[in-house]
Amino acid sequence: MSDLQSLAVTLDNAAQNAQAIAQLSHAEQFSMADAYEIQKRSIALRVARGAKRVGMKMGFTSRAKMIQMGLFDMIWGRLTADMVLEDGAPMPFKKYVHPRVEPEIAFLLKKPLIGSITPMQALAAVEAIAPAMEVIDSRYANFKFALNDVVADNASSSGFVTGPWNSPTLDFSNLGLVMSFNGRPVQIGSTAGILGHPLRSLVAAARFAEEAGEPLEAGWIVMAGGATAAEALKPGTWVEMEMQSLGRVAFNVAA
Ligand code: OOG
Ligand code: MG
């Protein structure tokens, strides 16, 4: 089998060139531990080029996402500064293979978190919460993958955008949300779709951080995971997500 480093390079190249590749698991056998090692190494290549680590994303934290992708275990990925999209700004479609968007909620941390913690301890580390959208873009052809493939591919991370930051003292357990394309609703849901309460996603993130030996740091953003299924993006689309009480976040898919 190819070594983990060469698989990391393959994925890093696919992401840089926006070129789909075949699922790694079709040609290689690798464990979930190997998959996270490939992810770690491929992000290290990005960081070596100057991309700063800015947080962590959770994946498959809702039934809607699990059912859409046919995978039923939580996963996580690493967020870097080059993935940040600006609220209301153009999103450069050409930099992606086949991007999709999903509504999420973002946590901004004011204290580090790691290990087995209670929801109360997780909340105490949150500076602010924001309505957010994640742009996912699998580096695999046809957006098809097994769990080890998608973990190696940094959980399809490619972009994220956060809206206004709000106090975490407001109850965000069940906030309605509507994601729309050019004013037409395409996904309707609630933050309760994320593990029944998005705070559980942050608790799980702290546990994953311990497994990886990489604490969640103050100043980092944690993306809680899609509350609904993801929608494919096309150029010429104004994408907006409004979340009850928290506000709205948007971007424009440029040609
Ligand atoms: C994998 C990433 C999942 C989420 O929010 O559930 C994810 C994918 O669906 O491509 O980002
Ligand atoms: Mg996501």
Express each pLDDT in 103-145 by its tens digit.
Answer: 999 999 999 999 999 999 999 999 999 999 999 999 999 999 9
Range in 1-5, 44-48, 73-77, 161-165 the model is least confident about: 1-5
Question: Mean pLDDT, to the nearest integer, of 145-151?
Answer: 98
Q: In what order do the strands lie in the sheet with 184-190?
A: 90-92, 247-254, 237-243, 176-181, 184-190
Helices (H), ranges, 115-159: 119-124, 147-152
Q: Give me the residues paired with residue 133 across strands.
A: 103, 161
Report the pLDDT value the prediction gives residue 68, as an integer from 0 to 100.
98
Whole-number Å distance between alpha carbons of 220 and 53: 8
Q: Ligand 1 pocket check: which of 135, 136, 145, 201 to mutate, most ligand atoms within 8 Å of Cβ?
A: 136
If you measure from the C-alpha of residue 205 to the centroid of ligand 2, how many angstroms do you get, rounded to a whole number?
A: 13
Q: Look up the CATH number of the domain holding residue 24.
A: 3.90.850.10
Domain hosting 89: range is 3-254
Share of the chain above pLDDT 70, in %: 100
Structure tokens at 7: 């698989």
Whole-number Å distance between alpha carbons of 246 and 24: 39
If you measure from the C-alpha of residue 252 to the centroid of ligand 2, how many angstroms do you get, rounded to a whole number?
A: 18
Whole-number Å distance between alpha carbons of 64 and 194: 9
Residue carrying the six token digits 């050019």: 182
CA dihedral in degrees (181, 184, 186, 191; nearest 10)? 90
Question: Mean pLDDT, to the nearest integer, of 208-237?
Answer: 98
If you measure from the C-alpha of residue 192 to the centroid of ligand 2, how many angstroms do you get, rounded to a whole number?
A: 15
If you measure from the C-alpha of residue 230 to the centroid of ligand 1, how many angstroms do you get, rounded to a whole number?
A: 8
Average pLDDT taken over every residue of the chain: 97
Structure tokens at 124: 């105490």
Report the pLDDT value the prediction gives residue 62, as an integer from 0 to 100.
98
Q: Is the dihedral of CA 209, 33, 201, 158 positive or negative?
A: positive
156 has pLDDT over 70: yes
Report the pLDDT value the prediction gives residue 1, as an integer from 0 to 100.
60
Q: Ligand 1 pocket check: which of 56, 68, 69 to mutate, most ligand atoms within 8 Å of Cβ?
A: 69
Residue 150, ligand 1, Cβ within 6 A: yes
Number of folded domains that form the chain: 1
Q: Ligand 1 pocket check: which of 11, 102, 179, 241 to mutate, most ligand atoms within 8 Å of Cβ?
A: 102
Pick the atom of ligand 1 nearest to 100's CA: 10
2 has pLDDT over 90: no
pLDDT band at 255 (very low <50, low <70, confident <90, very high): confident
- State which H helix or E strand residue 68 sits in: helix 63-69
Question: Mean pLDDT, to the nearest integer, of 168-195?
Answer: 98
If you measure from the C-alpha of residue 88 to the centroid of ligand 1, how many angstroms do you get, rounded to a whole number?
A: 23
Express each pLDDT in 29-54 by its tens digit.
Answer: 999 999 999 999 999 999 999 999 99
Pick the atom of ligand 1 nearest to 138's CA: 10
Report the pLDDT value the prediction gives residue 27, as an integer from 0 to 100.
95
Whole-number Å distance between alpha carbons of 148 and 155: 10
Phi/psi at 238 (5° precision): -90, 115
Residue 21, ligand 1, Cβ within 6 A: no
Under 8 Å between Cβ of 218 and 147: no
Structure tokens at 250: 């948007």
Under 8 Å between Cβ of 59 and 155: yes
Name which residue sits closest to atom 7 of ligand 1, judged by CA.
59
171 has pLDDT over 80: yes
The 3-class secondary structure across 24-53, one letter per residue, is: HHHCCCCCHHHHHHHHHHHHHHHHHCCCCE
If you measure from the C-alpha of residue 130 to the centroid of ligand 1, how many angstroms do you get, rounded to a whole number?
A: 19
